[in-house]
């Protein structure tokens, strides 16, 4: 695989993904020629041992490659997709509203990443949870109040930094005012820069002051500011993020093959445009055939990159190296007290379990693209605490657990029927709350991780 100078240069600012736990031959060749980063996805991380082995393989070929991951604490997890994340969602942390606790959560998350030699996590999410029907933000956000999200987000940045892991708070300038999914379409926000500066941008400014080394740009259109999407806009990257907010770190794009920018067919064009707008590290997803995508990007780079573009890329490559994990940082912290998560629950009635077996019925909407398919629910947490799981209608302990029922009318209709037929059952609302539903005994958990399930089980069994 022989690349030209221009192609090797742009390779140094790309962070593609790939499928599986073995490095494909074409990725191996690009790593040998200076690939800037690798983004890990769920198929790369079926368990911690396989993940560590894969990272070691990458390091053996290219020690300077920046290895990144979407590990946000909460429902968006790559390392614990099969078992459920041991960390709570940002939204429930916002409800607990204890910055010291939040910092400890993210420090422990960072310690896990550091032990695997992961450099960068695309977190924390600083979007405001303003739009209640936003399928993407939800429990990934710390809340809707800019001051609260600022305090919690800064604590998350501190915690990860203590573990030596770099952060890329996202998705600048914030998806909070839209309900569109940028994986599919380009969300449009009708707000002035002044409005955004006083609300959505406040948490990002706090993260920058806290020392966040990178910021991830969102794929958003804000016509009052610029006619180009934020992630491809020099107005947003240079005039606002760098000059107004005084950010001097690495500007990272969200995945450039998302529908908001035209998808796979336009990714090579989006890559060049992002560089010219001032982005430093270009993320590509691990869903499609990255071999063809990278070939198209390199081909366009050869014909289009100017001397000015190459100067920008050279500076970006130097900046990207600063994201490498700090090996001297603390890589071990005490286990979390998951019972504290219950402080952020909303509880109606007096939901408690008697000793013996427990019947659990599960209902859920299809997963979003952001979180993908993850393990959720109470079965494991209850079993570990001595409760056998039985068929519904066979025991006094009846639990109906559901996730994101508000997104699926059929799930919601069945939920209403179960409430009528089993009025004394305990209903557990995992994920973003289905606010149109209530019951005699109800727990809203504001997340769907293993940590949430453990906290629910502890709460239900408390005397």
Catalytic center residues: 183, 254
Task: Report helix angle 25-32 to 48-61, nearest 10.
Answer: 50
Report the DSSP beta bridge partners of residue 389. 358
Please provide the DSSP assignment of 93-107 as one string: HHHHT-HHHHHHHHH
Distance CA 397, CA 353 (A): 6
Do residues 191 and 224 make contact, with C-beta atoms less than 8 angstroms apart?
A: yes
Using left for φ > 0, alpha for ψ between -120 and 50, and beta otherwise, residue 191 falls in beta
Backbone angles phi, psi at 98, to 5 degrees: -130, 100
User: DSSP letters of 21-89?
Assistant: SS--HHHHHHHHTT--EEEE-GGG-SSHHHHHHHHHHHHHH-TTPEEEE---SSS--STTTTT--SS--
Angle of helix 25-32 relative to helix 290-304, nearest 10 degrees? 40
Residue with tokens 């958990």: 445
Report the distance separating Cα 170 and Cα 184, nearest Å: 18
CA angle 332, 110, 106 (to 5 degrees): 105
> Residue 193: which H helix or E strand, with range?
helix 193-198
State both tokens at 426: 């305990």
Distance (Å, whole) CA 343 – CA 349: 16
The DSSP element (H or E) to which 161 belongs, if any, is helix 146-162
Integer CA distances (angstroms), 54 to 45, 59, 149, 294, in order: 9, 9, 35, 21
Cα distance between residue 30 and residue 27, in whole Å: 5
């Amino acid at each position: 695989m022989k690349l030209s100078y221009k192609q090797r240069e742009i390779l140094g600012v790309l962070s593609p993904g790939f499928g599986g736990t073995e490095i494909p031959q074409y990725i191996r060749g690009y790593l040998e020629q200076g690939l800037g980063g690798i983004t890990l996805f769920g198929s790369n991380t079926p368990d911690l041992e396989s993940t560590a082995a894969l990272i070691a393989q990458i390091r053996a070929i290219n020690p300077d490659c920046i290895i990144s991951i979407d590990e946000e604490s909460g429902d968006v997890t790559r390392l614990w997709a099969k078992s459920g994340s041991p960390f709570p969602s940002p939204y429930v942390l916002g409800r607990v509203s204890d910055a010291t606790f939040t910092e400890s959560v993210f420090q422990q998350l960072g310690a896990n990443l550091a032990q695997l030699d992961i450099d960068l996590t695309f977190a924390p999410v600083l979007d405001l949870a303003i739009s209640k029907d936003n399928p993407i933000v939800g429990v990934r956000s710390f809340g809707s109040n800019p001051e609260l999200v600022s305090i919690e987000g800064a604590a998350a940045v501190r915690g990860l930094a203590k573990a030596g892991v770099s952060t890329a708070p996202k998705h600048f300038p914030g998806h909070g005012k839209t309900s569109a999914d940028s994986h599919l379409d380009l969300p449009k926000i009708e707000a002035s820069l002044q409005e955004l500066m006083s609300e959505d941008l406040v948490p990002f400014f706090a993260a920058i002051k806290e020392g966040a080394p990178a910021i991830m740009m969102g794929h958003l259109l804000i016509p009052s500011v610029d006619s180009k999407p934020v992630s491809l806009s020099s107005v947003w990257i240079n005039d606002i993020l760098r000059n107004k907010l005084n950010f001097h770190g690495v500007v990272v794009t969200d995945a450039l093959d998302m529908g908001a920018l035209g998808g796979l067919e336009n990714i090579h064009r989006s890559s060049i445009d992002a560089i010219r707008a001032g982005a430093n590290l270009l993320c590509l997803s691990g869903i499609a055939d990255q071999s063809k995508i990278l070939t198209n990007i390199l081909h366009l780079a050869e014909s289009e990159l100017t001397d000015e573009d190459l100067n920008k890329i050279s500076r970006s490559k130097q900046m990207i190296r600063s994201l490498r994990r700090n090996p001297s940082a603390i890589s071990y912290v005490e286990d979390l007290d998951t019972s504290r998560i219950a402080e952020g629950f909303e509880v109606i009635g007096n939901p408690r379990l008697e000793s013996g077996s427990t019947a659990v019925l599960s209902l859920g909407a299809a997963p979003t693209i952001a979180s993908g398919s993850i393990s959720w629910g109470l079965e494991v947490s209850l079993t570990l605490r001595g409760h056998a799981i039985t068929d519904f209608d066979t025991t006094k302990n009846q639990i109906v657990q559901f996730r994101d029922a508000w997104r699926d009318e059929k799930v919601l209709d069945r939920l209403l029927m179960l409430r009528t037929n089993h009025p004394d059952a305990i209903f557990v609302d995992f994920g973003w709350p289905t606010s149109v539903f209530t019951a005699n005994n109800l727990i809203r958990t504001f997340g769907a991780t293993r940590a949430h399930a453990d906290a629910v089980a502890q709460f239900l069994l408390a005397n």
